[in-house]
A and B are shown apart, each in its own frame.
Chain A
């Protein structure tokens, strides 16, 4: 059995660590690329959202590398992700790929379904070992997130251009190399030390932008065309509303690990504008935007794949949030047609707007409120 799974940003590090610790043979598909996208787009339904197309491409590429089993997460709606595995499997089957499909999701009938699947993948390893493996996965996810957060800080402030990028690569390599939960603290220390070694100018003025939106497009650099790096190089300190470790803690561990970032506050805030969860991260998108406004961020960018249902609901509500709280919001929609230049132009224009706004004295010490925010500077642009 050679197991593969789809890409979502740095998620491969944490799943690879977990499965290899349990002695499973893992095939990691090549990083998502134009080729992956082309393969996926060719065989997917036209209006399916982009993550499905990239997943499909990943599986087709992994199959050439010898993978024969797909492990995926599932769900029970209302977001389309809950039905991804089944549609992808039907497509792969018709194309003649011989894949075994294992979907880890809340069981439909009884908990034994899920237990059986875990036992199948781990080939009946002891539960003690399985739990240690999951812990290793979580520690890796959390370490990766810490490295990324350091990079958000140092990228706009670095003295030598490109220094952060090199440091991130080295730091991630340290995390990938750790094989057991016991090795993780040392690996994390080493990774953070590398990140702290980046020379920065602490007093350089930066613009701060919060990134909100759909989890896949936020996490996968190929899908968002490396928006974090692009913004960082324009002198913007970014913050992402969703991190992998936070998602694991909230959804898989039910918030068991305390004192970590959580999506709870965002959900509570979001209810003021959106009366019900809408699946995916729709409610969190609205809530995080409010939180960013309260924390004094200069602007917010919403990212979503074309036709993403929960984010469209959020997108319709964000202009109201933007004008109520006086924070500029830009929505960027990505799909297989997106081009690099279009993205850069929009980001530059948005950053210019935020910088101008920051330099205008009467706007600088603004309180957040409708009265303080002149209509012409509201700055809601949509892509």
Chain B
């Protein structure tokens, strides 16, 4: 029987899953991904985390608990930095330790540092460390690494050409006559169907085309983010702000939804900056939603409906004005 590695379906899984899964498969290691988020899974996470932690971390702990008894290793990389002179967030730096010291009976944790903060650092170092858990053959690791990198690049290109990840892809029917709504939020919030309460699907069902930060190539996002008074040192939030600025200035985007999770530190700042941009530098409507473990679905549905109504109404007004 081959070794089984558990990957929680949470946090940066949503960015890196093609790379991680390919890498392990090439090493001949079986991967097990935790089940999709459910109420029970979130509840377990809530009970095992300090109250003050943010929703995504509580959720990630729930996913860890889901895997705990079913795998030989837990893959919880310490993602320090994914770009030079940038970080993700302090909780990502401490996540493996938070898990280790709050949950008992864990299988061995693979918590190698993924760190591109310094000049000359490469993601290959990280994959080498991970590979060493399973093989002593460096050539095998290099081949697995190259294949995994190709998988990630392909995934990113797919995303830019309007295929949202996994389950969302199938439903993607681009209707160019409808309205375009940009959804700005952490990938592990907006792509998680449970905590985002199917927001993307709901928007699509009501005839809107959904755009996210992942539809934009990294260069565009970074260029837009340069408009900030100081470079943001959180990579994901830089993406969010850059994408928001880009969509604010785009003619064919009719409304922007900013999704923050309760207790998220960086969101509190970038949400503020995005909102001020919406108020001062643009006349596009913006909806700011905060999700937490208590959010009722009805509240979300009402807000989305009201927002879409307003966007449509505005658009009709604009069309009418143009024909006069």
Contact = CB atoms under 8 A, between A and B. Distances in A.
B98 A316 contact: yes
A45 B273 CA distance: 10
B2 interface: no
Given A86-B230, A90-B276, A108-B230, A315 B90 contact: no
Interface stretch (A131-139, A227-235, A278-286, A345-353): A278-286
A83 B89 contact: no
A275 B231 CA distance: 27
B174 interface: no
Given A83-B230, A83-B232, A276-B78, A309 B97 contact: no
B271 interface: yes
B74 to A, nearest CB: 15
Contacts of B80: 276
A45 B271 contact: yes
Interface in A1-50: 45-49
A382 B53 CA distance: 13
Contacts, number: 129
Contacts of B276: 90, 94
Interface string B205-228: 000000000000000000000001
Contacts of B269: 45, 48, 80, 83, 87
B50 A316 contact: yes
B94 A89 contact: no
Sorted nearest first, the 10 A-B pairs with minimum C-beta distance are: A77-B233, A313-B94, A78-B87, A47-B268, A320-B101, A309-B90, A45-B272, A316-B98, A278-B90, A309-B265
A313 B260 CA distance: 20
B56 interface: no
A91 B94 CA distance: 31
Given A83-B232, A90-B229, A310-B94, 8 more contacts: A78-B93, A78-B233, A80-B268, A85-B230, A278-B91, A307-B52, A309-B265, A316-B97
Given A78-B87, A94-B276, A276-B113, A313 B52 contact: no
Contacts of B168: none
Counting contact residues on chain B (CB < 8 A from A), the size range is 35 or more
B268 A307 contact: yes
Most chain B CB neighbours (cut-off 10 Å) among A46, A79, A80, A108: A80
Nearest to B277: A90
B264 A273 contact: no
B89 A382 contact: no
A313 B91 contact: yes
A274 interface: yes
Given A278-B94, A282-B90, A317-B101, A90 B273 contact: yes
SS of B interface (majority): mixed
B90 A78 contact: yes
B86 interface: yes
19 contacts: A45-B268, A45-B269, A77-B87, A78-B87, A78-B93, A83-B230, A83-B232, A83-B269, A273-B97, A279-B90, A309-B89, A309-B90, A310-B94, A312-B53, A313-B97, A313-B98, A315-B50, A316-B53, A317-B94
Contacts of B231: 108
A108 B233 CA distance: 11
Given A47-B268, A282-B90, A316 B49 contact: yes
B96 interface: yes
A76 interface: yes
A148 B167 CA distance: 60
Given A273-B101, A275-B111, A307-B268, A79 B263 contact: no
Given A273-B101, A382-B51, A307 B230 contact: no
Interface string A287-329: 0000000000000000000111110111111011000000000
A82 B268 CA distance: 14
A48 B234 CA distance: 16
B280 interface: yes
Interface string B72-91: 00000010100001111111
A354 B228 CA distance: 50
Nearest to B280: A94
B85 to A, nearest CB: 7
Contacts of B98: 313, 316-317
B102 interface: yes
Most chain A CB neighbours (cut-off 10 Å) among B51, B94, B234, B273: B94
B266 interface: yes
A308 B228 CA distance: 23
Interface in A218-239: none
A316 B101 CA distance: 7
B210 to A, nearest CB: 25
Contact of A276 (B51, B53, B94, B266): B94
A316 to B, nearest CB: 4
